[in-house]
Amino acid sequence: MRDEHEKLDIRVRRWIFQQGWSELREIQSLAIEPILSAKTDVLISASTAAGKTEAFFLPAISAIAEQQKGVGILYISPLKALINDQDRRLESLSDLLDMPVTPWHGDSPQGKKNKLKTSPAGIVLITPESLESLLIRDAGWVKSAFSLLRYVVIDEFHAFLGSERGHHLLSLLHRLEHLLGRLKSPIPRVALSATLGEIEKVPLALRPNQSLPCKIIRDTNAVSTLKVQVKGYVNPAQVDIEEPIDAEYKICQDLFKFCRGGNHLVFANSRNRTEIIAATLSDMCDQQHVPNEFFPHHGSLSKELREGLEKRLQQEHYPTTAVCTMTLELGIDIGKVNSVVQVTAPHSVSSLRQRMGRSGRRGGASILRMLIAEDELTKDSNPIDKLRLELIQSLAMIRLLISSKWYEPADTSLYHFSTLLHQILAVIAQWGGIRADQLYNLLCKEGPFQNISAADYKAILLHMGSSELITQLGSGELVLGVLGERITGHYSFYAVFKTPEEFRIVSGTKTLGTLPIDSLVLVGQHIIFGGKRWIVKDIDSDKKTIYVERAKGGKPPKFGGSGMSVHDVVRQEMFKILSDGDYRIAVADQKIDFADANARELFRESVAFFNEAELRQNSLLQHGNDVYIFTWHGDKVVNTIAALLIMNGYEAGVYAGVIEVSKTSLTDVAASLRSLSLRAYPTAAELADSVLEKRVDKFDEFLPEEVISLGYGAKVFDMNDAHCWLKKFS
DNA sequence: GACCTGCTGCGGAATG
């Protein structure tokens, strides 16, 4: 290890000494050789604050220390805030080597950008969108300024993995290598992340054409201790008018107790709940005549408010608790907090891991509290409530996090058609004109859109021609059409993702409210809105309106309208916990219980209902006039079964991964599932044909119908696994 | 009870 350190530039070693570091961390030593050699991609997977950034920059800066001209390192970040943090953190090291660092994003100073334009050198910190804008507007400059580029490094790589934006980034990097004439001798890519699921598949996601090998570096000896507690709360069925104390208020009382006087993060999952909890806690400060120390933090708040709070957390002068959404999940520099609290079930194991990593000061234990409220049971409680699925999901996620060290992997079955269309326009805008076959080679054959067939690519080009996005010249070259010029000329072009559109929910002549549509909505589907049940009658994509009628039915379940997609593995862990009647984690010959008395009682109720309904053996349950289907699969499979039933004339809704089929009987549903399992089943794209609103990504409006169905089907449905599950009825 | 991210270049007014 000591020898490794000797390979670094003398000034870098001096800097390490100045930091007072007696030696490098394991991942930092391990990264030196592969990064200096610059012959492979490198994946550095280590927990938050384990020194990943330094593991890359110490050797990479050493390697470009003597390079006077030309940018040597291109650092890519998903957030502008992270670029500003990184700029600050690199200051002392870059000063010592007299190496310029240029932050380059929409809000970074024009003066620094101009300086880089005239004398490109050192390190550039950029977002994917700003890199796109440089390629389109100034490819000539990029070609000369980056001609000696040695490394590309991607921070928080999991934030890109599997998403439209991640695919955009891969395409940008491929186009950059193409522009620089480096397809034969690729520029090494280094990816940094704390939470990567199925890590052995990540190299393929970092470089789909595999033109360089990839070295994986993980921190093995980091045995960070974790203290976890799950606390249960019961929302009374009858609230006392004299003294109305519901579960949410009790949760706030406990938050006040845990958090006051220290620095904490409270993740509340929705902006609305974030505001309510922060306001309740501020009121409590008022009542006790103490200064307020609870503040909300989410994406709708102004930059000034957010940055003010981040600074306050970082300085540690005043006790501060941020009640936040995922905005404080990524590595924005707020230092470490005393503890993290999760109110309501987390969306994914990977995001739970990110959140947990925010706590653990001075090498101490990470502390995670999870506060889960369930409704008190009454005789007409819904089976989903009786199963306490929010609590069970939370317990399952903690087990996967701690004992399996499992995180959700990227979904590699997606096509990313919207992003391909964006890239077709971007490449044409960059080059002025290009032949269709060259474009196909660049983006699909050698680039990241390898899932897309030549036939689909051709259909997209023809459709783009018919809507005047592009035109073909007599020479055969493709150039921008009238509409294409307009779209690529506007600054809003550079991002491939869009903010989901709000649909109006209309019943009769009355507007009930608005709902952002980014998940599956089918005619005939039941949804819950404003605490009531509705059936979807029609969807008008042009008017952005969903027409609904009141639906009869018992009390709607509290947990799990549609939301973020839950993975198969999580649902299977939930089934295992309920089947075993035990959620505790085995450590050596002991079983660790991490639930409080209330949570244990809620779990006991859940298991009692699970056993009484014989859900270990049976997938179907009759409850009044409704039938519940338990697949214990992820949302893609559940969506598929629900859509098949709706196609066959049933009314159904999906809540917390359970399908609720209305006004029917168990024998009827069982017969239908049996006939579904025996019939030739449709493809995902055919099933998607029946979905009215499936143009959800930014450039979907310019894609031909059949391509839309193919892309949407792959995103929302899983025919293979759904059919496997249906087989048990044949 | 529904998460988050990003984007140009120019014209004109205000400030030192």
Cα gap A422→A698, rounded to integer Å:
9
Same fold, A226-376 and A417-489: no
pTM given for the model: 0.91
Q: What is the pLDDT of residue A563?
A: 65
pLDDT, averaged across chain A:
91
Burial class (CB in 10 A: 0-12, 13-18, 19+), A538: exposed
Rank A187-191, A528-532, A547-551, A587-591 by mean pLDDT and report only the highest.
A187-191
Q: Which two tokens stand for residue A626?
A: 């409704």
Q: What is the pLDDT of residue A221?
A: 58
- Nucleotide nearest A77 (Cα, C1'): B5
pLDDT band at A506; cut points 50, 70, 90: confident
Lowest-confidence pick of A22-36, A90-104, A246-260, A359-373: A359-373
pLDDT band at A219; cut points 50, 70, 90: confident
**In this structure, are residues A538 and A507 in contact, taking their beta carbons and an 8 Å threshold?**
no
pLDDT band at A73; cut points 50, 70, 90: very high
Q: What is the pLDDT of residue A64?
A: 96
pLDDT band at A187; cut points 50, 70, 90: very high
CATH code, A226-376: 3.40.50.300
Q: Is the CB of A491 under 7 A from strand B?
A: yes
- A1 pLDDT more than 60: no
* Nearby residues of A135 by Cβ (< 8 Å), 6 or more positions away: A142, A172, A175, A176, A179, A426, A430
Work out the angle between the directed axes of helices A454-466 and A705-716 (0-180°, nearest 10): 130
The mean pLDDT value for A39-43 works out to 97
Q: What is the dihedral of CA A86, A88, A94, A100, to 10 degrees?
A: 80
Nucleotides of B under 7 A from a protein CB: 1-9
pLDDT band at A153; cut points 50, 70, 90: very high
The mean pLDDT value for A238-262 works out to 86
Q: Is the CB of A354 under 7 A from strand B?
A: no
Q: Which of residues 234-263 of A touch strand B (CB under 7 A)?
A: 248
Q: Is the CB of A326 under 7 A from strand B?
A: yes
Cα gap A201→A220, rounded to integer Å:
19
Cα gap A60→A311, rounded to integer Å:
30
E strand map for A573-685? 585-587, 590-592, 620-623, 626-630, 652-655, 658-661
Protein CA at A490 to nucleotide C1' at B6, angstroms: 13
Q: Is the CB of A558 under 7 A from strand B?
A: yes
Homologous superfamily assigned to A4-218: P-loop containing nucleotide triphosphate hydrolases (3.40.50.300)
The 10s digit of each residue's pLDDT in A509-543 is 888 877 777 677 888 888 877 767 888 898 887 88
Architecture category of domain A417-489 in CATH:
Orthogonal Bundle (1.10)
The mean pLDDT value for A689-714 works out to 92
Q: What is the pLDDT of residue A561?
A: 58
Q: What share of chain A is helix, strand, coil (3-state, %, to 5)?
A: 45, 20, 35
**In this structure, are residues A341 and A267 in contact, taking their beta carbons and an 8 Å threshold?**
yes
Q: Is the CB of A534 under 7 A from strand B?
A: no
- Nucleotide nearest A137 (Cα, C1'): B8
Cα gap A494→A511, rounded to integer Å:
34
At A359 the three-state DSSP class reads: strand
Protein CA at A552 to nucleotide C1' at B9, angstroms: 56
Q: Is the CB of A133 under 7 A from strand B?
A: yes
Q: State which H helix or E strand residue A465 sits in.
A: helix A454-466
Domain locations in chain A?
4-218, 226-376, 417-489, 502-567+613-729
Q: Which of residues 267-306 of A touch strand B (CB under 7 A)?
A: 269-273, 276, 298-300
Q: What is the pLDDT of residue A18?
A: 93
Q: Which of residues 90-109 of A touch strand B (CB under 7 A)?
A: 105-107
Q: Is the dihedral of CA A506, A512, A514, A519 positive or negative?
A: negative
